[in-house]
Amino acid sequence: MNQAAPSSTIASNPLLEDWSARPFGTPPFERIEAAQFQPAFETALAEHLAEIAAITANRQEPDFANTIEALERAGRALGRVSDVFHALAGANTDDAIEEIERDISPKLAAHFSRIYLDTTLFGRVDALYRRRAALDLTPEQARVLERYHVAFRRAGAHLSEAARSRLAAISERLATLGTSFSQNIIADERDYTLVLEGEADLAGLPDFARAAARNAAEERGMPGKAVITLSRSSVEPFLQFSSRRDLREKVFRAFIARGDEGGASDNKAIIAEIVKLRAERAKLLGYESFAQFRLDDSMSKTPRAVRGLLDQVWTRARASALADRDALQKLAQDEGGNFPLAPWDWRYYADKLRKRMHDLDEASVKPYLQLDKVIEAAFDTAHRLFGLSFERREGIATWHPDVRVFEVKGPDGRHAGLFFGDYFARPSKHSGAWMTTLRDQEKLTGDVRPLVINVMNFNKADGPDLLSYDDARTLFHEFGHGLHALLSDVTYPMVSGTNVLTDWVELPSQLYEHWFERPEVLRRFALHYKTGEPMPEEMLKRLLKARNFNQGWATVEYVASALMDLEFHSLASADNLDVTAFEKQEMARIGMPDEIVMRHRPPHFGHVFSGGGYAAAYYSYMWSEVLDADAFRAFEETGDIFDPATARKLRDHVYSAGGSRDPETLYIAFRGRLPTPDALLARRGLADLAPAGEA
């Protein structure tokens, strides 16, 4: 993104121009400047309100075209400006973008509250919904009407004026708090570096980890140095390989303390206010808690159903993790470690234990997982399943030079969309991995093809970029989300691509991970970066056999976070909430092992507190894993993981359907029935571990 000239010197704002003449209708990133966003937002917001006013002023009887389709057509300029802005705010932010984000977030919340709390507009939607059976709608149209009706009611459009006013104020304040929470995390991550001084500090680190540390220092203006940052892709390898226990502790404590250091970037007061406001919002809408409100519009339906699944998995995972803890403690003692195992020791000794049990460690596997080859594997899998092809395209403007652009074509050779891959960590990027879009697929205004983004935070090296096994699986995961958008085949934007219920949205992504873990894929693409030779068959067998190694620990750190999210949002009242005390109380209640820490402690739990996306819904990954484990069995049962008939059903009823039908209906159309947790427990190696009290 060019930051050169202020918008006042620019006669035409590129954010508001017609992009149709540009390659594939892509945004003009080469001309976009931070100062252009404020006037672009102002213009787009006003335009959207004018479009909404035209709908409410229409004196004709409400019908699907003049109300629902009109709502679907409205706000296109605002959508374009917002999509570009949020892509930058996540993947290439700076002080100017963050200042705009703080200003625009509450304004956008107020804007959409004004629309979804408009009683006249809701009256039109409600009138249509009440006589929906007589409207002769297609199944997709019926679903779109239903989702609009749900959206207005969940916003509170049916409530009194006083309640609507308070709900609008809550939404605006939550937007401000969520932005502050997110910016505090990235501030803590940017401010921290551990400089590794000489060979003693580098002890135990393999060459690829040292190269990543040197590159991280270069990016931060410290050439010739080596640093560890608070990016997960920097922290986790250090904890895994460094033989310096004192430095592991230092990095670990800094990593889990993000947002919890006191001072300007501390998030605990923000969390307390967010939880309190969400509880108040739920009560205004007639629910006992925010969790009940949130889950009422999900596959799971109730907190009880979510807790039932999480508890069932928790008891087995905890038993597995405790057994692993004892094995790790013995290993540490055998090596002369006269100390109780601590959280910063787990990855280090787990890697050693895996080497002892399976003759396998990360350092031996990683040379076979080249970033370019893993991307190629993801593309090839999509080709074999769905007939898609991918061609690298140059000359398309992006937000950073590292971003790669691919044109996607369907089985018929026709253009199907663009895929943007932004793979490397940098100080201007939020941590984590995600998928988003610059444009969604739809047919309402023509054959609109999507612009899909995957963002990752892999370490960038001087030579070949090598991935850990988990990194490679993450790439497949996010690409699964990308396919959900690329394969979307619906008419209405409301139900396009990933615009689905939260506990359904992770199915396409988590399901796609299964193909990465198959020997049919690894044999072709797990090639040594120096020799080009495939991974030795014996190593491949050991790798797949060890897939469930340490799953107790991985499941515990995830489920603990999901339970913490659920308990925060099950509070009927959150006055005077002490976030630290609540965290300690809940961890003690579930019996969290002292040697394991939640994957996301509350002060940096961005899924839940940076916005409302996964609030009371972090369980969704586990809920979707019940689906994806069973769904992949459909392929295994045919004896062909690329079985054409099964792939066609998967495409039609999962990847292409978006939110055009109820998720249960879609899953049954694909599989013939709903799943049970059995396949999930088997996949994680927990099926044979009975909970305490069971035979």
Tens digit of pLDDT for each residue in 241-289? 999 999 999 999 999 999 999 999 999 999 999 999 999 999 999 999 9
Model confidence band, residue 10 (pLDDT cutoffs 50, 70, 90): very low
Please check whether residue 264 lies inside any domain of the structure: no
When mean pLDDT is compared across 7-16, 55-64, 366-375, 531-540, the lowest value belongs to: 7-16
Report, as an integer, the average pLDDT of 611-634: 94
Report, as an integer, the average pLDDT of 47-63: 97
Report, as an integer, the average pLDDT of 460-466: 85
The last residue of a domain, from among 496, 525, 545: 545
Please check whether residue 622 lies inside any domain of the structure: yes
Tens digit of pLDDT for each residue in 119-132? 999 999 999 999 99
Tens digit of pLDDT for each residue in 526-544? 999 999 999 999 999 999 9
Residues 54 and 71: beta-carbon distance below 8 Å: no
Report the distance separating Cα 111 and Cα 182, nearest Å. 21
Please check whether residue 290 lies inside any domain of the structure: no
**Same-domain status, 511 and 408:** yes
Please check whether residue 92 lies inside any domain of the structure: yes
**Token pair of 163, please?**
């309640």
**Same-domain status, 64 and 100:** yes
Q: Assess whether pLDDT exceeds 70 at residue 693.
A: no
**Same-domain status, 383 and 337:** no
Percent of the chain clearing pLDDT 70 (strictly above): 97
**Same-domain status, 202 and 163:** no
Write down the pLDDT at residue 521.
97
Residues annotated as catalytic are 478
Report, as an integer, the average pLDDT of 230-246: 95
**Same-domain status, 31 and 175:** yes
Write down the pLDDT at residue 694.
36
> Residue 108: CB partners within 8 Å, gap ≥ 6?
82, 175
Nearest to 684 by CA among 520, 509, 550: 550
Please check whether residue 362 lies inside any domain of the structure: no
3-state secondary structure 623-690: HHHHHHHHHHHHHHCCCCCCCHHHHHHHHHHHHCCCCCCCHHHHHHHHHCCCCCCHHHHHHCCCCCCC
**Token pair of 444, please?**
């309402």
Q: What is the domain count for the chain?
A: 4
Higher confidence at residue 11 or residue 328? 328
Q: Which domain holds residue 472?
A: 367-545
**Same-domain status, 657 and 617:** yes
Write down the pLDDT at residue 8.
40
Q: Assess whether pLDDT exceeds 90 at residue 461.
A: no
Report, as an integer, the average pLDDT of 229-250: 96
Write down the pLDDT at residue 537.
96
DSSP string, 577-636: --HHHHHHHHHHHHT--TT---SS-GGG-HHHHSSSTTTTTTTHHHHHHHHHHHHHHHHH
The last residue of a domain, from among 523, 545, 567: 545
Please check whether residue 230 lies inside any domain of the structure: yes
Report long-range pairs for 393-397 (Cβ below 8 Å, ≥24 apart). Answer: 393/23, 393/418, 395/23, 396/23, 396/24, 396/26, 397/26, 397/27, 397/28, 397/29, 397/30
3-state secondary structure 112-176: HHHHHCCHHHHHHHHHHHHCHHHCCCCHHHHHHHHHHHHHHHHHCCCCCHHHHHHHHHHHHHHHH
Tens digit of pLDDT for each residue in 266-279? 999 999 999 999 99
Tens digit of pLDDT for each residue in 478-490? 999 999 999 999 9
**Same-domain status, 609 and 530:** no
Report, as an integer, the average pLDDT of 53-78: 98
Please check whether residue 224 lies inside any domain of the structure: yes
First to last CA, the chain: 61
Write down the pLDDT at residue 677.
87
Please check whether residue 1 lies inside any domain of the structure: no
The last residue of a domain, from among 200, 233, 257: 257
- Global pTM reads 0.94
**Mean pLDDT computed over every residue of the chain:** 95
Residue 248: exposure state from Cβ atoms within 10 A (0-12, 13-18, ≥19): buried
CATH of the domain at 161: 1.10.1370.40
Q: Which residues of 506-527 are buried (b: 16+ CB within 10 A; e: fewer)?
A: bbbbbbbbbbbbbeebbeebbb
What one-letter code names the amino acid at 139?
Answer: P
**Same-domain status, 569 and 533:** no
**Same-domain status, 326 and 464:** no
**Token pair of 105, please?**
């977030």
Report, as an integer, the average pLDDT of 216-224: 91
* Bridge partners for 408 per DSSP: 390, 417
Report the distance separating Cα 389 and Cα 446, nearest Å. 23
Report, as an integer, the average pLDDT of 506-531: 97
**Same-domain status, 531 and 423:** yes
Nearest to 110 by CA among 182, 45, 40, 55: 45
DSSP string, 57-105: H--SPP-IIIIIIHHHHTTHHHHHHHHHHHHHHHHS--HHHHHHHHHHH
Report the distance separating Cα 8 and Cα 272, nearest Å. 40
CATH of the domain at 346: 1.10.1370.10
Report, as an integer, the average pLDDT of 96-102: 97
Q: Assess whether pLDDT exceeds 90 at residue 69.
A: yes
> Residue 416: CB partners within 8 Å, gap ≥ 6?
388, 408, 409, 410, 449, 486, 487
**Same-domain status, 589 and 477:** no
Pairing state of beta strands 389-392 and 194-195?
unpaired
**Same-domain status, 175 and 222:** no
Tens digit of pLDDT for each residue in 154-202? 999 999 999 999 999 999 999 999 999 999 999 999 999 999 999 999 9
Higher confidence at residue 342 or residue 220? 342
Model confidence band, residue 692 (pLDDT cutoffs 50, 70, 90): very low
Write down the pLDDT at residue 684.
86
**Number of continuous H segments (helices) and E segments (strands) in the chain:** 28, 7
